[in-house]
Structure 1
């Protein structure tokens, strides 16, 4: 494994700080959405069901269902957790994925046991964890790009050979 170039450290440090702030912000937003006593937008859910029903009559593929849209939205909701969580950590970035899975399981347990208008499901834990994994992979690509750029900047470019006339 290649060592980190010193020139990458300031950029990685800035990324860690900004990502920690973004992670805290997203964690608060997700907590409000998922631990609210009722569904976040019951009218929106019924609107989406109605939209899909009409859309299927006008050409939206039948495989696009409310359940699949909800699954995809849970993935999207947890992608920032994986992304900013991985960037906020300086080492062991991969730990953000199991941490997100545990947090998601906790959220779903609270929904199932303490929030009578909410449903806690294993399916949501799976989609949330998948979102965190995708966010982590994106963060790994960003870190790799920062390190690659720093290594390129540290290369010594040989001077051209002198030309004798």
Structure 2
């Protein structure tokens, strides 16, 4: 895979930082695009269960899946778990910064810590499954290890 996971990880980490450590959140007012979409869901019985709180939690999980995935790929099969441990540490830093440095406009929560970490866990596990199913070309095949 080369350096591609590392390059993507760097860009994605910067993206997460931009999304979580800037003083202002995305437009979440009722008149904004997210608010209108959620109102559309609320107006229809089939999708009325899709609330702002649920969408926010799912977005927090989804945002950290690529982080855990890319970091686990970068670390390899033996250290895949670093993807979720680093995801937990990264979200602790983010939530801490939101509570202390960005408190007038951002809110750090335990819920975000849990959902972000869950996303990193899911991503790291998916990367492990991929690495097990599709072994790296750098690793010799079992047949090559047999002394003839």
Match of 2:24 in 1: 38
Match of 2:129 in 1: 141
- Residue 96 (structure 1) aligned with residue 96 (structure 2): no
Which one is further off, 40-49 or 63-72?
A: 40-49
Gaps of 5+ in 2: none
State the shift of 1:47 in Å: 3.2
> In structure 2, what is the Cα distance between the partners aligned to 1:136 and 1:41?
30
For residues 5-20 of structure 1, what are the structure 2 equivalents within 5 Å? 14-15=1-2, 17-20=3-6
For residues 52-63 of structure 1, what are the structure 2 equivalents within 5 Å? 52-63=38-49
> In structure 1, what is the Cα distance between the partners aligned to 2:88 and 2:30?
27
Distance 1:75 1:45, change over 3 A: farther
> In structure 2, what is the Cα distance between the partners aligned to 1:111 and 1:45?
25
Distance 1:150 1:98, change over 3 A: closer
Distance 1:45 1:133, change over 3 A: farther
State the shift of 1:26 in Å: 0.3
Output the aligned Cα RMSD: 2.6
When normalised by structure 1's length, the TM-score is 0.74
Q: Which has the higher helix share?
A: 1
State the shift of 1:75 in Å: 1.0
How many residue pairs get aligned? The number is: 141
Match of 2:64 in 1: 78
Match of 1:119 in 2: 107
Please say which structure displays the higher CA radius of gyration. 1
Distance 1:45 1:123, change over 3 A: farther
State the shift of 1:61 in Å: 3.0
When normalised by structure 2's length, the TM-score is 0.82
State the shift of 1:98 in Å: 1.5
Gaps of 5+ in 1: 1-13, 157-165
Which one is further off, 57-66 or 31-40?
A: 57-66
Find 1:65's aligned residue among 51, 54, 75: 51
